Amino acid sequence: MYNSKELRVFGGNANRPLASDICSYLDIELAPIEIRHFSDGETFVKIKDNVRGMDCFVVQPTSSDVNSNLMELLIIIDALKRASAGRITAVIPYYGYARQDRKDQPRVPITAKLVADLLTAAGAQRIITMDLHVDQIQGYFNIPVDHLYAAPVFIDNYLSKIDFDLMVSPDTGGVARTRAIAKRMKKSIVIIDKRRHSPNHSEVLNIIGDVKDKSLVIYDDILDTCGTVINSSDALLAAGAKAVRVVGVHGVLSKNAFEKLDASNILEIAITNSIEQKKSSRKLKVFNVSSLIGEAILRIHTNTSVSSLFV
């Protein structure tokens, strides 16, 4: 048992349904907050409850519109700090700008590090996030980061209920991520060697592994325009695969991704609700991660181990 009177969970506008589901898991009410915008686009926030000395968690993925949602998160954190909150934890299921994680060209920023600095400067004292694009982003923070993984949610609710032969990493960078979940499913992996010509545009060069007459699951962290997974699926089917499903943690699904997925040869697409979906697809399955995040919040609040969730 814990003292829920000392716990407050706030939801920004980026994914209010997820924040509500987390509160349902914790058996508390979503904390009252006023968020509105002036005519010039400036964001105004007012905390509508006493938070002095309270353990406060702000649920706000920095998904599209990423800049507005990030700014809203920073302002909520600042408002809580100025209201004398005891501890402020930013719960960021999807960490925007994570793909700008290194200086791979001359004169470009490391925006993932900049966002980490902004969150810390605003007053965040802890971060909860899920399936970062690269693990080293944890090192961009000088405050504790609890990095959760959606793999248990997919295994329990989807992968254990379907029949498939192999898991596929859509690129060499995702091999460790795919191997980790394939090991738990007692499956082997296939690797796709691809060349990225520009952001959101890639070409399959080679398939490492035998996929003939096999049912496959492509596992990725971010599904954005979906060009990569669609090209990968086409290449796998051309190599003799029997069926291809896609599991992606964060459904960014920008531009015409829904239309492209519906027209593709992909059998099903499974994602989490780390990002709120305003559209739907006949192929799309969305799995709720509120219990995973809610349990992390509960363990942090009660100062018990969170490590068993890092699987």
Show Cβ contacts of residue 238 under 8 Å, excluding neighbours closer than 6 positions: none
Separation CA 171–CA 194 (nearest Å): 6
Regarding whether 97 and 126 lie in a shared domain, the answer is: yes
The pLDDT value recorded for residue 308 is: 78
Q: Does residue 143 share a domain with residue 19?
A: yes
Together in a domain, 136 and 238:
no
- pLDDT at residue number 194: 74
Residue 307: per-residue pLDDT? 86
Structurally, the chain folds into a number of domains equal to 2
Judgement on whether residues 144 and 161 belong to the same structural domain of the protein? no
Residues 255 and 165 in one domain: yes
- Asked if pLDDT for residue 1 goes beyond 60, the answer is no
Selecting among 103, 113, 186, 194, the annotated active-site residue is 194
Question: Using 50, 70 and 90 to split pLDDT, how confident is the model at 88?
Answer: very high
The parent domain of residue 175 ranges over 152-287
Q: What is the mean pLDDT of residues 172-190?
A: 95
Is residue 194 part of the annotated active site? The answer reads yes
Q: Check whether residue 112 and residue 38 sit in a common domain.
A: yes
The order of strands in the sheet holding 243-251 is 201-208, 188-198, 166-169, 215-223, 243-251, 269-272, 284-287
| Per-residue pLDDT reduced to its tens digit, 228-268 | 899 999 999 999 999 999 999 999 999 999 999 999 999 99
Query: For 3-20, how does the pLDDT look when each residue is reduced to its tens digit (9 = 90+)?
Result: 678 999 999 999 999 999
What mean pLDDT value characterizes the chain?
94
Residues 158 and 273 in one domain: yes
Q: Domain of 54: which CATH number? A: 3.40.50.2020
Dihedral of CA 68/73/78/80: which sign? positive
